[in-house]
Chain A
């Protein structure tokens, strides 16, 4: 029996290199890389470097790449490439997503729903397919509140187009669970590496922290006692790799959250970030930036409306950015963890407060962006 081969999309994203570092110890990986500017080869070099930085011992010789773009029919794969995938691939891991919250809905659907459907069509032709893993988000729950169970995907409204598009993609996948071996990983917001603090792809939470660091966040809507679901990349990646290859359960959905003991509340996150910024930089401390108060939704809405009416360009830009995700904070949820606890009883992500300082230090050091990965030679498959 040949070893498994996993076709991975979104390998260069926030989770990709860390997942690959886990997978490569267990199987071969084919990364579907979009032929973007700079060339797929260059992207593969960067990916190899990123995987090695995650795990110097990862057997990267098991990693190959194929150029493909899920926005095109058949991902634009060459016929021989498609045949090879059909013959070799045992698992598909769909990590690719456009996580921008401010995209028009049509674009968000194109990037997150249509691509998923295209990958499903490709997967139908994979002769050895054993499992299809889909990285979703906790926030397919949209504006629902209270307990969110793993197996349900109830109709709701959404705070941004990303949530809606991921909801629609997940719904499309769930409709195929009867005839394809599909599992869904609803991943919490990735804060960064618990080990190094590295943030590969800044997300909404990093944008919020950046604005906070710049002293531009006057208030935050929500309830200070409600948990903010953050997760370290290592545990997210480890769980995805294990659930896909070792504990695969078709039709199962997992909430990959840190769990209540490891999670910070909104108030704690604001306070700990404040201490973190101050500890990193005495000059920041001297500015006297106050932690933003956590306010009722109506208060925040009034502030937001005032800024919009005033049309002050800088503050309006800040509010525009914040308003794509902050409203989620007024819809408190508890995400059930039955499936993950049953499947991986020893999976215990570290407390967020433990590695938050490292993430803040990384963000501060890199000015809230990621330094370019060093290029090195490699070949496309």
Chain B
């Protein structure tokens, strides 16, 4: 099976309204002072308006992709839905009946998008690292000749009443879609590296240890992904970050000895941290903003509570 596997199309949708840090602070939706979060690289959050947008953000992102890239829904073989947050709150058990629990957003999405031929499943419990897991599964399915087109859709919408801040990161509502196809020569994933450290599964209880573990593990995971791709850090043309605190990326790039100019920074301020959609948001914007040379090496990295550190290397 020598046909290349590549990311054929990307799209994303963020919440349609914006809230500044000061507005979020005034509403009691931040744990830290707005000023501190601004110094960490944030400026605003994107917020989905109303129940409809909240529910449909993922569908809207996927529809954009199918329409803009002229993809026939019937050509999609597999649909993978992912998210860092549970996509729907668990339904109460009425009269002891469990059937209320069997309401799966991935089925609804498959139906609403008209992906009648697609097998559908979801990936969860990966935190912000879910996208890379979805891409890895998609690549494996394609490489095994079990599919030609895998549509990965990620959705994270902050539940009503929840703060829009987690550990100094400002959260946006966001959804993304990535179509992974074979044969496709551009944006070929050539290496993945995921490290799961279950010891840190209880994020609130292990918060300080997670903060301490973040940098050394992140550095190792990125180095290992780059080594698995058969290149060095110097060979990277572009580093696509997630939209966590810009300060933490500054430190991480320093640890890696990768110049900041090679990373696509700045989206955290403009768009906030849309949990598992960040890497698609930033990859798409980076490709639009500074398209890499064909075959240039692009690294993606993110961390998800749970705890998962994930990195990938693509060939543009």
Contacts and interface: CB of A to CB of B under 8 A. Distances in A.
Interface of A: 214-219, 286-293, 295-296, 298-299, 302-303, 306, 309-310, 312, 314-315, 318
B51 interface: no
Contact of A310 (B32, B214, B250): B32
A344 to B, nearest CB: 41
A291 B213 CA distance: 9
A296 B199 contact: no
Contacts of A295: 254-255
Contact of A315 (B199, B211, B216, B220): B211
A217 B195 CA distance: 19
B208 A314 contact: yes
B215 interface: yes
Contacts of A315: 208, 211-212
Report the 9 A-B pairs with minimum CB-CB distance, sorted nearest first: A290-B216, A299-B254, A287-B199, A218-B212, A288-B197, A314-B208, A215-B209, A216-B212, A218-B215
B217 interface: yes
B197 A318 contact: no
Given A216-B208, A306-B251, A287 B197 contact: yes
Contacts of B197: 287-288
A219 to B, nearest CB: 6
Interface in B211-236: 211-217, 219-220
A290 B39 contact: no
Nearest to B247: A306
Contact of B251 (A291, A292, A302, A312): A302
A290 B210 CA distance: 11
Contact of A291 (B40, B199, B216): B216
A318 B208 contact: yes
Contacts of B211: 218, 312, 315
B36 interface: yes
Nearest to A298: B254
Interface string B193-204: 001010100000
Given A218-B215, A296-B254, A306-B251, 4 more contacts: A218-B214, A302-B251, A312-B211, A314-B207
30 contacts: A215-B213, A218-B211, A218-B213, A218-B216, A219-B215, A286-B199, A287-B197, A287-B199, A288-B197, A288-B213, A288-B217, A290-B213, A291-B216, A292-B216, A293-B215, A293-B255, A295-B254, A296-B254, A298-B254, A299-B251, A299-B254, A302-B254, A303-B215, A309-B36, A309-B39, A310-B32, A312-B211, A314-B208, A315-B208, A318-B212
Contacts of A292: 216
B168 interface: yes
Contacts of A293: 215-216, 219, 255
B220 A290 contact: yes
B52 to A, nearest CB: 37
Most buried by A among B195, B217, B245, B251: B251
Nearest to B218: A290
A322 to B, nearest CB: 11
A278 to B, nearest CB: 14
Contacts of A310: 32, 36, 168
Contacts of B212: 215-218, 315, 318
B208 A303 contact: no
Most buried by A among B40, B248, B254: B254
Interface string B234-259: 00000000000101101100110000
Nearest to B168: A310
B75 to A, nearest CB: 41
B58 to A, nearest CB: 32
A172 B242 CA distance: 56
A214 B207 CA distance: 13
A292 B209 CA distance: 12
Contacts of B36: 309-310
Contacts of B219: 293
B208 to A, nearest CB: 4
A312 B215 CA distance: 17
A299 B255 contact: yes
A296 B256 CA distance: 11
Contacts of B254: 295-296, 298-299, 302
Contacts of A318: 208, 212
